[in-house]
Chain A
């Protein structure tokens, strides 16, 4: 069974540029999460989807971050414009009916 797939693994951009991350969850998992992980910290939830619906986006900085999950499968997280403080690892996870989270390998963003 394929795991959670994320791309790109690494991205280096200059500040004020846009960036997008893509996630393909485990087949059959209806719940999808985007987490932010700063160095030395644990993952922090940005947004949670149940199928196509964003059921918790309270911690998503909506002035510059956006996300979508069309057709309830793949998801994209976008930052526009990126700031220096956005440098971090962006983790996607999925679960079946809010069970244990299965994480992807993460997308490491460096903003110069």
Chain B
């Protein structure tokens, strides 16, 4: 039973365009959501997060949108840069359990 799903294993985008990475979850008890970025042979690094009381959080080129009724969140990267090429994981947290559940990741390739 996969509680956090990233249905697109890969995505290719031209440099300068928008990248949209999607994530769906099933557990309505999740109240905090995060995106992590992972380069090969490195550990995941925190990118951006959003609390369930918000529907949008923005940090520079990165914006995360949360649609609680649809149990869906998305990460927008604008404009995309070649250095953004990595695997992106979404994660969800139920603050009562402090257990992070990760999706399977989406590999983003930004083409120069």
Query: Does A29 count as interface, using CB distance less than 8 angstroms?
Result: no
A44: contacting residue among B46, B97, B102, B105, CB under 8 A: B102
The answer to whether A45 and B100 have CB atoms under 8 Å apart is yes
Residues of A within 8 A of B49 (CB): 100
Q: Is B42 among interface residues, defined by CB-CB distance under 8 A? A: yes
| Interface residue A25 (Cβ < 8 Å from any Cβ of B) | no
Give the distance to chain B from A35, nearest Cβ to Cβ, in Å.
Answer: 8
Instruction: Check B99–A106 contact: CB distance below 8 A.
Output: no
A41 to B52: give the CA distance in the assembly, Å: 25
Q: Which residue of A lies closest to B9 (CB)?
A: A40
Size range of the chain A interface in the assembly = 20 to 34
> B43 → chain A, closest Cβ, in Å?
3
Q: How many Å lie between the Cα of A98 and that of B34 in the bound state?
A: 13
- Apart from A43-B44, A91-B44, A101-B36, what are 20 other A-B pairs with CB-CB below 8 Å? A33-B100, A40-B9, A40-B104, A40-B105, A41-B104, A42-B4, A42-B104, A42-B105, A45-B100, A48-B98, A48-B99, A98-B95, A100-B49, A101-B91, A101-B100, A103-B36, A103-B44, A105-B41, A105-B43, A106-B43
Q: What is the interface of chain B, defined by CB distance below 8 A to chain A? A: 4, 9, 34, 36, 41-46, 49, 89, 91, 95, 97-100, 102-105
